[in-house]
A and B are shown apart, each in its own frame.
Chain A
Amino acid sequence: MGSKTPLYDKHVEAGARIVDFGGWDMPLHYGSQKEEHHAVRQRAGMFDVSHMTIVDLRGERVRDFLRHLLANDVAKLQVHGKALYTCMLNEQGGVIDDLIVYFLGETWFRLIVNAATRDKDLAWIRQHAVGYDVDVHERAELAMIAVQGPSARELAASCIDAEWREQALELKLFTGMEAGGLFVARTGYTGEDGWEIVVPAERAPAVWDQLVAAGVAPCGLGARDTLRLEAAMNLYGSDMDESISPLEAGLGWTIAWDPDDRDFIGRGPLEAMRAAATKRRFVGLLLEDKGVLRNHQRVVVEGVGEGEITSGGFSPTIGRSIALARVPAGDYESAHVDVRGKLLNVRIVKTPFVRNGQVRIDI
């Protein structure tokens, strides 16, 4: 028996297959993972992501604290509600977690971190917050629903109070706002437009029902994984962990090197890795043969070396198998993957595989 979100009963009522996910009883799918995937790409689907950890940070020096704690630079956050994707690194430059940070006020920032890393994240944040006199407050009483897809915002607008609706619909990408007790942000983990809605636990079932009534399809963690893989969005614990730097996980773009005197945790080792010749690159793979690529399969690049698939699976949108992989540096366009002893042909492709309903690679 794991922890249950405020929407657990809704999932069971809807016939979800429940699985353990980092200690939480979560819906894997409600019948067909593929149909849920297509619902998000073509119209609108929603995910219960209440298991994710919301942490509010308050204090006069909270911005200085986050400029030290995070590899991306919250100095970029100047507009109220603006969000930033970033890694939180250890002293060696390995990734403790990836997270989204929201600017809610000069003395108030919000972090949304992964469920599976909650304990170590909170310990790490609290340990470093001491010197900055920042209050670290977990908001366990808040639930979260991600509504994603080309029609997501239009359909989900019905659950926003009329007073706030128009403003919510005008939210720019990666920006959030308070809307009558809800916090609505134009963010997500699917490669589609949409909102992530933070809602007090007691209101979550009613909001879920409103979204169902509006025609939004409940979707499980299975579809969430295939959607994020198509969008080439990293999954913590699969694509990176504390032994992997953002530079080896395709997340170099999230590191704010400027200004060069900003002393964020992990900067020293990261600078050294950046200066050295890159040994490994993080790429997308498209399987040319029949079959399915899976996590941890061996990538063989003849004459160059070997790598590993960090996230592999079937792409419902493309109808073929795709993967993210850490492979040896070098100039090559194809490789092989060892699938149960057979070497299958893969092509190195530029990610994302799919974005906003469109296949972005040549098939």
Chain B
Amino acid sequence: MSELPGDLLYTSEHEWLRRENDGSVTVGVTDHAQSALGDLVYVELPEVGQDVDSGGDMAVVESVKAASDVYAPIDGSIVAVNEELADDPEKVNADPYGDGWIVRIKPNESIDESTLMAPDAYQELLDQEDA
């Protein structure tokens, strides 16, 4: 059973989003995703200032097993990346919703929540994948 904080939004690609007070959005991968990937050994981060398009790849998380793209959940530009992951990618495994955050994005426009999932909808997706 993977952990699923109630104050986040989720994507079908197993990313999570947190809306910050300054209007930016923090993005990471879910507990389910880190567990499926296994021990992370490398995270390829985008550049600060880079523009991202919703659904486009923006980072790569690599575990001992495989490489997996992390997709931008919204249109916007990167305002911060988690530099600590360069030396300690396992933070994503240890604390996927906290210290293991990946990027912070400044949205171009108001976020279209219809393309994102509330926790209960994401939980349903996980249940379907397990079935």
Please list the residues of chain A having a beta carbon within 8 angstroms of any beta carbon in chain B: 17, 28-29, 32-34, 37, 222, 226, 290-292, 294, 313-314, 316, 321, 340
Interfacial chain A residues near B64, Cβ < 8 Å: 33-34, 37, 222, 226, 313-314, 316
Q: Which residues of A contact B53 (CB under 8 A)?
A: none
B65 touches A33 (CB 8 A): yes
A340 to B62, CA, bound (A): 13
Q: List 8 A-B contacts (CB under 8 A).
A: A33-B63, A37-B64, A290-B86, A291-B42, A291-B44, A294-B66, A294-B67, A340-B44
Query: In the docked arrangement, what's the CA distance between A32 and B37, Å?
Result: 10
List the interface of chain B (C-beta within 8 A of A): 38-39, 41-42, 44, 60, 62-67, 86
Specify which chain A residues have a CB less than 8 angstroms from the CB of B65 in the assembled complex. Answer: 28, 33, 222
| Contact in complex: A314, B62 (CB < 8 Å) | yes
Q: How far is the CB of A103 from chain B (nearest CB, A)?
A: 37
- Bound complex: CA of A321 vs CA of B44, how far in Å? 14
Instruction: Tell me the smallest distance from the CB of A31 to a CB of chain B, in Å.
Output: 9
Q: Is A292 within 8 A of B38, CB to CB?
A: no
For the complex formed, measure the closest distance between the CB of B39 and the CB atoms of chain A, giving whole angstroms.
Answer: 4
Chain A: CB-nearest residue to B43: A290
Nearest CB of A to B82, in Å:
15
Q: Is the CB of A340 within 8 A of B42?
A: no
A32 touches B67 (CB 8 A): no
A314 to chain B: which residues have CB within 8 Å?
41-42, 62, 64
Q: Which residues of B contact A226 (CB under 8 A)?
A: 64
Given known contacts A222-B65, A292-B62, A292-B67, is B86 in contact with A33 (CB within 8 Å)? no
B41 proximity list for chain A (CB < 8 A): 34, 292, 314, 321
Q: Are B42 and A292 closer than 8 Å at their CB atoms? A: yes
Question: Can you name the residue of chain A whose Cβ is closest to the Cβ of B69?
Answer: A340
Residue of B nearest to A316 (CB): B64
Residues of chain A lying within 8 A (CB to CB) of residue B42: 290-292, 314, 321
CB-based contact A222/B38 at 8 Å: yes
Which residues does chain A contribute within 8 Å of B44, judged by CB atoms?
Answer: 291, 340
Contacts of A32 in B (CB 8 A): 38-39
A294 to B67 CA separation, bound complex (whole angstroms)? 9
Q: Which of A29, A32, A290, A314 has the most CB of B within 10 A?
A: A314
Residue of B nearest to A342 (CB): B44
Question: Which residues of the partner chain B approach A29 to less than 8 Å between Cβ atoms?
Answer: 38
Residue of A nearest to B90 (CB): A34
Interface centre among A292, A313, A340 (most CB of B within 10 A): A292
Complex Cα distance, B84 from A269, in Å, reads: 54
Known A-B contacts A290-B86, A291-B44, A340-B60; the reply to A34 vs B67 at CB < 8 A is no
B86 touches A34 (CB 8 A): no
Known: A32-B38, A291-B44. 18 other contacts (CB 8 A): A28-B38, A29-B38, A33-B38, A33-B63, A33-B65, A34-B41, A37-B64, A222-B38, A222-B65, A290-B42, A290-B86, A291-B42, A291-B62, A292-B42, A292-B62, A313-B64, A321-B42, A340-B44
The minimal Cβ–Cβ distance linking B60 to chain A, given in whole angstroms, is: 7
- How many Å lie between the Cα of A313 and that of B66 in the bound state? 8
A29 to B64, CA, bound (A): 11
Scoring B42, B62, B65, B66 by chain A CB atoms within 10 A of each residue's CB, the highest score goes to B65
Closest 3 CB pairs of A and B: A314-B41, A34-B39, A292-B62
Instruction: Give A19's nearest chain B residue, CB to CB.
Output: B65
A220 and chain B: residue at smallest CB distance: B38
Q: With a CB–CB cut-off of 8 A, which chain B residues contact A37?
A: 64
Which A residues lie within 8 Å of B60 (CB)? 340
The interface residues of chain B lying within 8 Å CB-to-CB of A290 are 42, 86
**Closest CB in chain B relative to A319 CB, distance in Å:** 9
- B-chain residues with CB within 8 Å of residue A321 when the two chains form the complex: 41-42
Which of A33, A294, A340 is the one whose CB lies under 8 Å from B39? A33
Chain B residue with Cβ nearest A319: B41
In the complex, the chain A residue whose C-beta lies closest to that of B66 is A294
Chain B residues with Cβ below 8 Å from A294 are 66-67
Closest partner residue, chain B, to A34 (CB atom): B39
A154→B86 CA distance, assembly (Å): 39
Contacts of B39 in A (CB 8 A): 32-34
Cα A254 to Cα B39 with chains together (Å): 35
Rounded to whole Å, the gap between the CB of A36 and the closest CB of chain B is: 10
Instruction: Give every chain A residue within 8 A of B62 (Cβ-Cβ).
Output: 291-292, 314
